[in-house]
Amino acid sequence: MPSWIRNPDYFVYRDHRRIVAVCPYPTTRGQVSITDAGGLLYCVLPEEELVQLFVDVRYFANRLAEVTHVRRVGMASDGRVIHLIPMHGLGEDWKPILHKETVFYPTWPGYFDSKSGPRMRNEDLDATQRRSSPPLDLNNHSTTPFTATRAIRTSLRASALGHGGPEEGLHYGDGRRVF
């Protein structure tokens, strides 16, 4: 995790669960990064907290789109930090912007790349699909990772209604407006 994300000078918002900070090394103007206040990997968060994380991410992505005057905000994550990246310059009718060059990394290079890779062989795609598919228990649907509990649905509805959301606006930790 980058050390700057824990620096209060860059905080946009902070509570007991979440740190939202303006990125001092952005790939584009207005990039904001979100992390768990305890520094946990997202894959180990309890299900309800993970769902709440994405409710919060949606709130900040919409707010970031509003204050940076963009139509879309991209999201990239390394499992510990979620980066919200305003997509400046996209028109009203979104069309993919594809790079002519393809790139493939056999190991993680330490950064994200939005270029497409070369077309993978069908055999390799099939093998990855088989290994990553969740086990399906037709007798007990609650064991699948895609089943939301009633508490999570209630939490989502409360968040959608605006209960418990962060304060309006994007500000540094000292109160100055980010944009």
Question: Tell me: the pLDDT tens digits for 49-74?
Answer: 889 999 999 999 999 999 999 999 99
Specify which residues 20 forms β-bridges with.
13, 34
What was the pLDDT predicted at 136? 64
DSSP three-state, residue 23: coil
Residue 137 CB contacts under 8 Å (≥ 6 apart), including other chains: 143, 144
Residue 168 lies in a domain: yes
Residue 119 lies in a domain: no
Residue 101 lies in a domain: no
Distance (Å, rounded) from C-alpha 125 to C-alpha 139?
Answer: 29
**Helix H or strand E segment including 82:** strand 81-86
Over residues 81-88, mean pLDDT: 94
Residue 116 CB contacts under 8 Å (≥ 6 apart), including other chains: 98, 99, 102
CATH number of the domain at 69, please.
3.30.428.10
Q: Quote the domain boundaries for residue 17.
A: 1-91+140-179
Better-scored residue on pLDDT, 17 or 95:
17
Residue 133 lies in a domain: no
Over residues 80-108, mean pLDDT: 87
Residue 125 lies in a domain: no
- Total number of domains constituting the chain: 1
- For 103-151, how does the pLDDT look when each residue is reduced to its tens digit (9 = 90+)? 988 898 887 777 888 888 999 988 988 888 877 665 555 545 545 444 4
